[in-house]
């Protein structure tokens, strides 16, 4: 039974930011340190900082010949079962490094001289060059290292959807990058059938089918060797009937068979090829699509969302129901550009609350252009939901603009049921912008219905069009 079913969330995977796991079995997805490092959202940046700090500290210990300390550092990378991600097909077992495997890994790292030569500088490189380390192992290693980060994410998602947590539960060991040591503390944990569970952002899991040693070997190493043989006119060079020269990958594989040891020795001589592999792979990695996690009829989901929106009465007594629906709709519309929704975040020492915040993870499109073109700083997107029957006024704008700051960002949405005098409200938004108090765009029910219906018609540009038109009306004099 999935999380959404167990806690009666009445939400599909398309409306949830976390992977909707079934705690009784593993899902064949992974947390890849390389993929995390390619993303720009705050959650990924913080996770990557923790991972890099751990591995750089490990490298530093090895270089300074503090080998016993370096070896002990690996002992906590053991069998995390909490995410229910990995290769097991039945009950989650975890495939962590383990103490004996930690010794083998440590020995392999030292005997290969991969660290001291600088070849392995990041945790993700281990699966490229170190025998016995594959995507499942690096994923488990990352889970241990960023466990506290995942716990915080789990807590925010449980708060968002009112999923109960159990207080005073041991966290399990996680890496404290401030103290540079492993720690174990007590906090509120999601417990299901006496088992701790960690939720993981769906935008930050992957199949890890691009940053792999075999992809590096076949598409970069062999291509490089092919051009070298052609350049030198070696014995592997053949000629076509028209005189063109060629070298087959089959012949290259016979001469230079795939092993991680071969990849290591090749990369020592040609580090630029490995760097090209990393750079090009970075450009083709994308967040996982919802349909890979759950196959549903999108048209039926849209009809349901529109029906629910139209059936919720305006007014304070239905504010929570409206709020919950809006979070799901925005997740459906904005993923993967906006991720990690959080509810009622406290700021200003708890004196003010923000209805919803999303992390801005966009590398292209509207949210990316906000920063790159319009120079509106927006690492977070702020959203206020007002289930009003009348038009919002200046106090509502002031409430939202009061959330902005140079550290949190200067952009937000005000969602409400209807605005009768949209021209007047847009003038108020323009005045807020001109006064330097941030950029606010209104979205009303009819906007959401229009956008959702256009998606049913497979027109995916309507959302972008509405946002860009509203932004233009606000920022242009």
For Cα atoms 277, 280, 283, give the angle at the middle one, nearest 5 degrees. 145
What percent of the chain clears pLDDT 70, i.e. is strictly above it?
92
Burial of 100 (0-12, 13-18, 19+ CB in 10 A): exposed
Give the pLDDT confidence of 238-288 residue by residue, as tens digits: 999 888 999 999 999 999 999 998 999 999 999 999 999 999 999 899 999
Which tops the pLDDT comparison, 394 or 18?
A: 18
Q: pLDDT grade, residue 94 (50/70/90)?
A: very low
Q: List CB contacts of 45: < 8 A, sequence separation 6 or more.
A: 39
Residue 103 confidence (pLDDT) above 80: no
Return the pLDDT at 75: 86
Residue 124 confidence (pLDDT) above 60: yes
Name the CA radius of gyration of the chain, rounded: 26
Give the pLDDT confidence of 431-464 residue by residue, as tens digits: 999 999 999 999 999 999 999 999 999 998 999 9
Return the pLDDT at 78: 79
Sort strands 338-347 and 352-360 into parallel, antiparallel or unpaired.
antiparallel
Return the pLDDT at 89: 45
Other CB atoms within a 10 A radius of the CB of residue 335 amount to 21
Residues in the chain: 477
Domain over 297-475 is classified CATH 3.30.1540 = no
> Torsions phi, psi of 342, nearest 5?
-135, 145
Give the pLDDT confidence of 142-154 residue by residue, as tens digits: 999 999 999 999 9
Name the DSSP class of 118.
Answer: T
Return the pLDDT at 370: 95
Burial annotation 393-412 (CB, 10 A radius, 16+ → b, else e): eeebbebbbebbeeebbbbb
Q: pLDDT grade, residue 424 (50/70/90)?
A: very high
Give the pLDDT confidence of 327-356 residue by residue, as tens digits: 999 999 999 999 999 986 544 454 445 589
Return the pLDDT at 95: 47
Q: pLDDT grade, residue 97 (50/70/90)?
A: low
- 270 DSSP β-pair partners: none
> Torsions phi, psi of 32, nearest 5?
-100, 120
Residue 99 confidence (pLDDT) above 80: no
Other CB atoms within a 10 A radius of the CB of residue 321 amount to 14
What percent of the chain clears pLDDT 90, i.e. is strictly above it?
77
Residue 106 confidence (pLDDT) above 80: no
Find where tokens 């995507």 sit: 135
Name the DSSP class of 313.
Answer: P
Give the pLDDT confidence of 289-330 residue by residue, as tens digits: 999 999 999 999 999 999 999 999 999 899 999 999 999 999
Burial annotation 102-135 (CB, 10 A radius, 16+ → b, else e): bebbbebbeebebbeeebbebbbbbbbbbeebbb
Give the pLDDT confidence of 356-381 residue by residue, as tens digits: 999 999 999 999 999 999 999 999 99
The SS3 assignment for 434 reads helix
Q: pLDDT grade, residue 30 (50/70/90)?
A: very high
Computed over every residue of the chain, the mean pLDDT equals 91
Return the pLDDT at 62: 87
Q: In the chain, where are the structural domains located?
A: 3-204, 213-282, 297-475
Return the pLDDT at 477: 64
Q: pLDDT grade, residue 133 (50/70/90)?
A: confident
Return the pLDDT at 143: 96
Nearest by Cα to 418 from 445, 456, 379, 398: 445
Give the pLDDT confidence of 204-228 residue by residue, as tens digits: 999 988 999 999 999 999 999 999 9
Residue 28 confidence (pLDDT) above 90: yes
């Amino acid at each position: 039974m999935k999380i959404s079913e167990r806690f009666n969330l009445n939400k599909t995977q398309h409306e949830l930011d976390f992977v909707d796991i079934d705690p009784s079995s593993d899902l064949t997805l992974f947390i890849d340190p390389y993929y995390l490092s390619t993303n720009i959202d705050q959650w990924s940046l913080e996770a990557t900082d923790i991972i890099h700090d751990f591995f750089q500290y490990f490298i530093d210990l090895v270089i300074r010949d503090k080998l016993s300390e370096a070896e002990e550092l690996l002992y906590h990378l053991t069998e995390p079962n909490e995410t229910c991600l990995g290769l097991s097909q039945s009950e989650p077992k975890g495939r962590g490094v383990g103490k004996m495997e930690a010794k083998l890994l440590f020995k392999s790292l030292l005997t290969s001289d991969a660290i001291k030569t600088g070849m392995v500088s990041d945790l993700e490189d281990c699966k490229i060059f170190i025998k016995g380390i594959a995507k499942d192992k690096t994923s488990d290693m990352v889970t241990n290292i960023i466990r506290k980060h995942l716990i915080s994410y789990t807590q925010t998602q449980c708060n968002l959807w009112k999923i109960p947590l159990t207080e005073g539960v041991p966290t399990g060991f996680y890496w404290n990058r401030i103290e540079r040591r492993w720690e174990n503390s007590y906090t509120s944990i999601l417990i299901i059938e006496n088992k701790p569970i960690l939720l993981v952002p769906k935008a930050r899991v992957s199949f890890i089918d691009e940053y792999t040693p075999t992809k590096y070997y076949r598409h970069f190493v062999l291509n490089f060797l092919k051009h070298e043989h052609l350049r030198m006119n070696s014995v592997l060079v053949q000629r076509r009937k028209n005189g063109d020269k060629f070298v087959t990958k089959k012949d290259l594989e016979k001469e230079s068979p795939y092993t991680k040891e071969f990849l290591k020795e090749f990369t020592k001589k040609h580090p630029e090829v490995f760097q090209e592999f990393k750079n090009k792979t970075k450009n083709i990695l994308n967040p996982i699509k919802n349909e890979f996690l759950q196959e549903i009829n999108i048209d039926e989901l849209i009809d349901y969302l529109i029906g629910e929106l139209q059936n919720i009465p305006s007014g304070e007594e239905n504010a929570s129901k409206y709020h919950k629906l809006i979070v799901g709709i925005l997740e459906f519309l904005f993923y993967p550009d906006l991720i990690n929704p959080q509810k009622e975040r406290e700021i200003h020492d708890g004196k003010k609350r923000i209805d919803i915040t999303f992390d801005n993870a966009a590398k292209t499109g509207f949210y990316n252009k906000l920063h790159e073109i319009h120079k509106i700083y927006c690492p977070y997107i702020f959203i206020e939901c007002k289930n009003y029957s009348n038009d919002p006024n200046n106090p509502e704008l002031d409430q939202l603009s009061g959330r902005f700051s140079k550290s949190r960002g200067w952009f937000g949405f005000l969602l409400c049921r209807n605005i009768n005098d949209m021209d007047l409200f847009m003038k108020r938004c323009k005045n807020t912008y001109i006064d330097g108090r941030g950029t606010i765009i209104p979205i009303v029910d009819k906007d959401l219905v229009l956008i959702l219906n256009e998606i049913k018609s497979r027109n995916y540009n309507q959302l972008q069009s509405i946002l860009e038109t509203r932004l233009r009306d606000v920022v242009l004099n």
